[in-house]
């Protein structure tokens, strides 16, 4: 049986090599990761998001995979990896946060988890929502609402 770490490495390897059929290979590995059915896979999945990925659809498959867990587990995992996600993949960090913003239930869970987050995590989330407000004017008022709640 493959470990989560070996599956993540397999996904990254296929993504990096970009051999013929690599998208199908990545999707198959992603299905194996999700089949683990343990919330511990969420940070590993989020770590696979890559701004340099050739196909956004593959990155959205990752986003959809992590969203399948309940809001509490998902939001806690995002808080845990938010700093690294923002540093490594700012575009996809914004996409994840827009999706959180678009789900009232997920947003409530996320803001609650941010109450116990450390200063660096909270500051990073503020940076992300500031970037979202600048990038997507139609989301500016909702993003600013989150910023106000975070103080």
Q: How confident is the model over 64-113, as pLDDT tens digits? A: 999 999 999 999 999 999 999 999 999 999 999 999 999 999 999 999 99
Mean pLDDT, range 44-55, rounded to an integer: 91
Report pLDDT digits (tens) over 12-43: 888 888 788 888 888 998 998 888 888 888 99
Using alpha carbons, select from 38, 57, 114, 40 the residue that is nearest to residue 83.
114
Residues 6+ away with beta carbon under 8 Å from 73: 39, 42
Whole-structure pTM value: 0.90
Taking the C-alpha atoms of residue 100 and residue 38, their distance in angstroms, rounded to an integer, is 21
pLDDT score at 47: 93
pLDDT of residue 23: 87
| Structural domain containing residue 36 | 4-150
Q: How confident is the model at residue 134 (pLDDT cuts 50, 70, 90)?
A: very high
pLDDT in tens, 111-127: 999 999 999 999 999 99
Number of domains in the chain: 1
- Output the pLDDT for position 12: 83
CA distance to 56, 96, 135, per residue, from 91 (Å): 11, 9, 11
Q: What is the mean pLDDT of residues 136-145?
A: 96
């Amino acid at each position: 049986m493959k470990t989560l770490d070996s599956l993540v490495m397999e996904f990254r390897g296929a993504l990096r090599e970009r051999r013929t059929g690599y998208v199908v290979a990545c999707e198959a590995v992603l299905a194996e990761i999700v089949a683990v059915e343990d919330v511990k896979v969420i940070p590993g999945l989020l770590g696979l998001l890559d701004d340099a990925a050739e196909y956004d659809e593959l990155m959205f498959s990752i986003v959809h995979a992590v969203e399948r867990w309940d809001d509490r587990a998902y939001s806690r995992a995002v808080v845990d990896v938010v700093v690294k996600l923002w540093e490594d993949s700012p575009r996809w960090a914004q996409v994840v946060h827009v999706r959180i913003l678009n789900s009232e239930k997920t947003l409530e869970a996320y803001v609650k988890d941010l109450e116990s987050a450390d200063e660096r995590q909270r500051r990073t989330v503020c940076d992300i929502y500031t970037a979202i407000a600048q990038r997507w004017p139609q989301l500016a008022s909702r993003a600013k609402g989150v910023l106000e709640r975070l103080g």
